[in-house]
Amino acid sequence: MQKLDDLGVPEAEDRPSVNPQPLSTSSKKINPELTVSEIKHGVRPGDVYVRMRQSHSRFFRRVGPGHFVATPESDRPESPFERGYRAVKKILIGRPLETVAEAHERLSKFKALAVFGADPISSCAYATEEAMLVLIVAGSGALGISFFLALAVSLLLSMVAFSYRQTVYAYPHGGGSYNVSRENLGKIPGLVAAAALLIDYVLTVSVSIVAGADAMNSALIASGFADQIDAVNSTLPPNLNAKVLLSIFFIAIMTLGNLRGIRESGSIFALPTYLFVGSLMLTLAVGLFKAFTGTLDPAVPPPGIPASEPLTLWLILRAFSAGSVAMSGTEAISNGVPAFEKPESKNAATTLTLMATLLGIFFLGVSYLATHMGLVPGEETIISQVARAVWGTNIIYYIFQIATMGILIVAGNTAFADFPRLSSVLARDNFMPHQFSFRGDRLAFSIGIIALGLIASALVVVFAGDVTNLIHLYAVGVFLAFSMSDSGMVVHWWKTRGPNWKTSIVINGADALLTSSILVIVAITKFALGAWIVVILIPIIVSFFLFVHRHYSRVADQLRIVPGQLPPDKIDQLVVVPIDDVNYASLRAIAFARTISKDVVVLHISTNEERTAKIQQKMTTYAHDMKLVILDSPLRAFVRPLLAYVDAVHSQNPGAFVTIVLPEFITAHPWETFLHNRTATRLRSTFERHPNVAVLLVPYLLEK
Amino acid sequence: MQKLDDLGVPEAEDRPSVNPQPLSTSSKKINPELTVSEIKHGVRPGDVYVRMRQSHSRFFRRVGPGHFVATPESDRPESPFERGYRAVKKILIGRPLETVAEAHERLSKFKALAVFGADPISSCAYATEEAMLVLIVAGSGALGISFFLALAVSLLLSMVAFSYRQTVYAYPHGGGSYNVSRENLGKIPGLVAAAALLIDYVLTVSVSIVAGADAMNSALIASGFADQIDAVNSTLPPNLNAKVLLSIFFIAIMTLGNLRGIRESGSIFALPTYLFVGSLMLTLAVGLFKAFTGTLDPAVPPPGIPASEPLTLWLILRAFSAGSVAMSGTEAISNGVPAFEKPESKNAATTLTLMATLLGIFFLGVSYLATHMGLVPGEETIISQVARAVWGTNIIYYIFQIATMGILIVAGNTAFADFPRLSSVLARDNFMPHQFSFRGDRLAFSIGIIALGLIASALVVVFAGDVTNLIHLYAVGVFLAFSMSDSGMVVHWWKTRGPNWKTSIVINGADALLTSSILVIVAITKFALGAWIVVILIPIIVSFFLFVHRHYSRVADQLRIVPGQLPPDKIDQLVVVPIDDVNYASLRAIAFARTISKDVVVLHISTNEERTAKIQQKMTTYAHDMKLVILDSPLRAFVRPLLAYVDAVHSQNPGAFVTIVLPEFITAHPWETFLHNRTATRLRSTFERHPNVAVLLVPYLLEK
């Protein structure tokens, strides 16, 4: 039960007041044009408006009648707490950028390959290994097949890349699967593609970062620190082991980097990508030379593993599915066309070709060397074993490991560009909360970046930082998005029938068939291992999109202006002023109420006869023109009787607007509020869901 | 950085709206007298006001012009959640009582002895033992002194009781130490007494309840369950052992009981008090008979304990201090005079005499029997050992233990009557937060009761449920309050000089000397053991009282009406309507603004030129009479530029009142709010500390 507020504490005879906030009754109109020369009102010493004597010109630039531009100065924080927060944010995120700066945030081909290409290229760090981990049950001898699997994946990749080049040209404003599917196949297929992509972006972060942590782990094992790593992990919970903590640290850094803006993240991340590309090329060249000269030997002789299962077609298909994760991220370039420097499509297509070529060479090279030496995946990654065989455990090996870790982080970063971008497109299309389309201080889509960082970190924790477990969820989304996009492109060419439309249909159609067959293979072979989660998740996410869309549509329907049904120019209104004492604060509120309406009821909810009598007498003295209603509350409740009274008078004219004008004093120090009731807050929430009722507080600031 | 609200989501052409809340422009005045026959407005089907067609007569009774009484029906909760909460509360606390029921909540002498007398009477359950625990270091032989200490305490008690009888008659409206000291000695001595009393009330709860748990413990040990108790405790943290948990459970029950109201708690608790009084009388009678016939033997032969320290005066004084805790609670009756049935003073005085007599007899009797048998305190309490020696481990023994536990709980309950009452008096005098003076549903001072329950539970946990440790904090407050009260009474008699004033001065003066001497002894002997905490705490609490008082005085000063300095009848005002789109909700807000003021600025904070152009065009169509100001915000901030603009226009006339009228739509389902920004909430907190600025939301309820 709510108690009466003690607005009038403590009652006292009327003697000189300390500092009433000034209120004026001049007939002077305020000039909204802010002509600075007019601002010359002096105020009492100690008055909070002293700083207003300053010119306001530093806050606003007048560009025309009724048109101003706010200067960065107007966004200057007031409280020391907020100033501190801003300072920290400025260090972490950078100074806020103006909206007009947006156009400059574009990527050159060189940087774009680092940002978008890192994801597919880096997958050669784990794709070979994942395929081998499946084949190993058929014994060490079966591992040789992985080279041919790599060949198949590379062929597939070139096919997909070739097909996507067409998309990039056809959709220069961003031809992601969502756009292409939605435009050509319809709303639901578009949303299915979008859901698949969002899931894969999250997995890109988790998988890449964990693989990056694995690279570091391998380097430490190669240096003989295996026991120390075990010792550290034995003191940590399994789901928060050293690798998981390292991964979360990387994700946090990436989140901050991306909140700073896409161009800067391009700069930060170009170095590791090209370091990896360069060092892996060198490693492969030297490795192949040694292999052909017969001097290539593994650092640690691989153990011979006996077969525990026969080498079936099922096993080969599973291994292929595992290796096909290398394809992930091919989509990214077509979705990110607008982020390229002009000419966007051409640059994007070139980058796409370059990326596919590099990935094909790397994937094949690593697989060849691994199978050549008969390497077996273990605690140390395959790619680390290859590098060690080529270089030994020397400085070049360590540089290579660091580069591997670096590119994998950059790969995770790809998703930090894609996920927020796709989310913002979905938000603009009313399928995701609009907050995802707001640009932060640095013009990045902050909410999407933060959401991605949080979800990816959660995944890493749940899967205890294990690449193989995470991989099982991967690839379904990738191939779903591919096949949706290609099918969409077939419809697109059929509709538009531009030059060479028949060739285009054949290319995209063939790719559509190919990728959907592989989708089926991937989904079936990985289903029991974790792909079922994705299969369940996609319809859930699509339902969420539709729920959000329905909500926004309904809101729009209800807010829409109907030319014949405008609200009246002026509204009937009744003002209720609940008072618990007659004092300076309540007289201010009454004066305010008198100013805004001729229909004012001053209401006192009475729990104490003596006090009520005093109030009645004071009202006669100070506000005899006001209608005073006394409402006895024998159960000492305040809010509900007020609610009932307002409902009752309102029912006489439901079309009227009831404003509850509440006198409120604000204590000088926030901690003093615990000495008073917070009636206002309670009243607000009580009347929140009442139409045509508003609660207005007339604040009176206490100065000490 | 704050982002713009998406008030206009999603933009759409103007076509038929679904359900605008009706707004009327009739010139009909609302009648605040609620004449029921006038209520006949029909509203559209589906309109939330349908229930208003019902008569409101069941919510209000009209008792005169502008004077209503709210019926209990008006306090009826609306939401299922609140209905559930109320139902649970009704079961725990009881149905709410009307304020007029207050006068009936008085105590008869019989119940008053149970409520107020239980505290001192019950202390014989531990006071003897605490004195013996000090003496034991001088060996078993020294324990015989405890009888003489008991004699000294009993004499002291009769003296204090005799002195307090005078106070009860002199202060029929409650003559607690606070009242008497404040009135006669001044503000600070009064507050010191109050602080001392509040501390002692908390300790009364903790000590009594823990001693009650000890009684249960002793009965279990007597029944051979010592090992099981240890086993249970070994699974619990030391500060939450079984005794602590049991104590907290008791305190929770008592808190609920007292929230139900003092009379009912009197009824609940009379039984155990009288069961204890009766069974202890019987035990002492049989025990003394057996002792004189030489057939009284301890159940377990007490171990002979050798002296580790000599029997010094210091040791005897410490033992006396420990035994003097029996005096606590004597104060309670004089403080609680108004709770007695009429004639209050006479009934209180009689109860006081009765209580002191009973306590004297019991304390002496227990001490005599314990020293007669040479009992030694151990895991089992002394009083339990006495009872077992008299009865053996039979049913009467168990009844006696249950009665002991019962009266100790009732003793704790004394403080549940006193603490909230004293707090409410202090709150009414502006020394404690006013919330302590609000009466709950059952007319009890809810906040005080809950605060006491929480603090006492915390103490039990901190001291791990050990009586001896808690006792060290006790008694300083008791004797401080005694000596303040007696000194105050001396001044009182000197001032009033009524009949027999000289005798009265002698009585109170002698007692003042006596109790202050004992205060010095108690404070010195217990200082190092824990009394220092109380010595530090009292000035802190007094400072808090003064801080609160200063705050309330300042508030009163600032709220006081100065006849020549009234606020003007009407106030200059400017209304700012920030809009982010022109839709039905914003047109309502604009109409509202037009109704309340002629000086309205519609402000759009722009981050998107296209959108702004659309808004300008729509404003021309739908609200061409309004002044529209566009404020470009290149950093995409919303709140701060608005704040700066409002400050700027406000500075032209700081005495004007600025109302920020904000269109707001309320989603049909609360969970949908996450799809929208909560600009309103941010704006409110931003402008909270600005004088002469109010934020008003014009709510538009979405219906789906």
Question: pLDDT (tens digit, 9 = 90+) per residue, A150-208?
Answer: 888 888 888 888 888 888 888 887 767 888 899 899 999 999 999 999 999 999 999 99
Q: How far is B699 from chain A (nearest CA, A)?
A: 6
What pLDDT, on the 0 to 100 scale, is given for residue A170? 86
Between residues 524 and 553 of chain B, which touch chain A (CB distance below 8 Å)?
548, 551-553
Q: What is the pLDDT of residues A91-116, one digit of tens each?
A: 777 777 777 655 556 778 888 888 78
A60 with B644: Cβ contact below 8 A: yes
A67 strand-pairing partners: A64, B630
Confidence of residue A55 (pLDDT cuts 50, 70, 90): low
Using a 10 angstrom Cβ sphere, with 0-12 exposed, 13-18 middle and 19 or more buried, the burial of residue A57 is middle
What pLDDT, on the 0 to 100 scale, is given for residue B272? 86
Nearest CA in chain A to B559: A584
What pLDDT, on the 0 to 100 scale, is given for residue A36? 41
B23 with A571: Cβ contact below 8 A: yes
What pLDDT, on the 0 to 100 scale, is given for residue B386? 92
Tell me the torsion sign for CA atoms A187, A188, A193, A194.
Answer: positive
Q: What is the pLDDT of residues B307-321, one digit of tens each?
A: 888 888 888 888 888
Nearest CA in chain A to B21: A691
What residue type is assigned to position A330 of the chain?
T
Judged against a pLDDT cut of 80, whether residue A304 lies above it is answered with no
Q: Does A53 touch chain B (CB under 8 A)?
A: yes
What pLDDT, on the 0 to 100 scale, is given for residue B2? 38
Q: What is the pLDDT of residues B406-416, one digit of tens each?
A: 899 888 888 88
Q: Does A582 touch chain B (CB under 8 A)?
A: yes
Report d(CA B167, CA B156) in Å as an integer.
17
Residue B180, C-beta contacts closer than 8 angstroms, at least 6 positions apart? B167, B171, B193, B484, B485, B488, B489, B492
What pLDDT, on the 0 to 100 scale, is given for residue A404? 92
Report d(CA A519, CA A480) in Å as an integer.
6
B692 closest CB neighbour out of A21, A551, A630? A21
What mean pLDDT is predicted for residues A441-453? 87
Give chain A's mean pLDDT.
83
Query: Other C-beta atoms within 10 Å of B642: how many?
Result: 24
B637 with A430: Cβ contact below 8 A: no
Element (H, E) at A388: helix A382-391
What pLDDT, on the 0 to 100 scale, is given for residue B602? 92
- pTM, rounded to two decimals: 0.76
At residue B657, what are phi and psi to the nearest 5 degrees? -105, 125
What pLDDT, on the 0 to 100 scale, is given for residue A650? 81
Element (H, E) at B600: strand B600-606
What pLDDT, on the 0 to 100 scale, is given for residue A25? 62
Confidence of residue A558 (pLDDT cuts 50, 70, 90): confident
Residue B374, C-beta contacts closer than 8 angstroms, at least 6 positions apart? B140, B143, B298, B302
* Chain B positions in Cβ-Cβ contact with residue A648 (cut-off 8 Å): 34, 39, 52, 56, 59-60
What pLDDT, on the 0 to 100 scale, is given for residue B28? 63
**A417 or B353, greater pLDDT:** B353
A701 with B693: Cβ contact below 8 A: no
Judged against a pLDDT cut of 70, whether residue A480 lies above it is answered with yes
Helix or strand or coil: residue A40? coil
A435 with B23: Cβ contact below 8 A: no
Confidence of residue A47 (pLDDT cuts 50, 70, 90): very low
Residue B405, C-beta contacts closer than 8 angstroms, at least 6 positions apart? B212, B213, B215, B216, B272
B701 with A688: Cβ contact below 8 A: no
* Chain A positions in Cβ-Cβ contact with residue B556 (cut-off 8 Å): 9-12
What mean pLDDT is predicted for residues A584-597? 89
A552 with B675: Cβ contact below 8 A: yes
User: Residues of chain B whose pLDDT is less than 50?
Assistant: 1-19, 36-54
* Chain B positions in Cβ-Cβ contact with residue A85 (cut-off 8 Å): none
Nearest CA in chain B to A581: B559
B702 closest CB neighbour out of A56, A555, A654? A555
What mean pLDDT is predicted for residues A217-236? 86
At residue A604, what are phi and psi to the nearest 5 degrees? -115, 125
Structure tokens at A261: 């803006």
Alpha helices in A2-126 (DSSP H): 80-93, 109-112, 118-122
Candidate from A18-27, A241-250, B501-510 with smallest mean pLDDT:
A18-27
Cα–Cα distances (Å) from A339 to A103, A272, B3, B278, in that order, read 9, 21, 23, 91
Structure tokens at B605: 């904070």
Query: A558, A574, A653: which to substitute to probe chain B, counting the most B Cβ within 10 Å?
Result: A558
What mean pLDDT is predicted for residues A137-155? 85
Q: Token pair 């006090």 is at which residue?
A: A611
What mean pLDDT is predicted for residues A290-299? 86
Beta-strand pair B693-701/B657-666: parallel
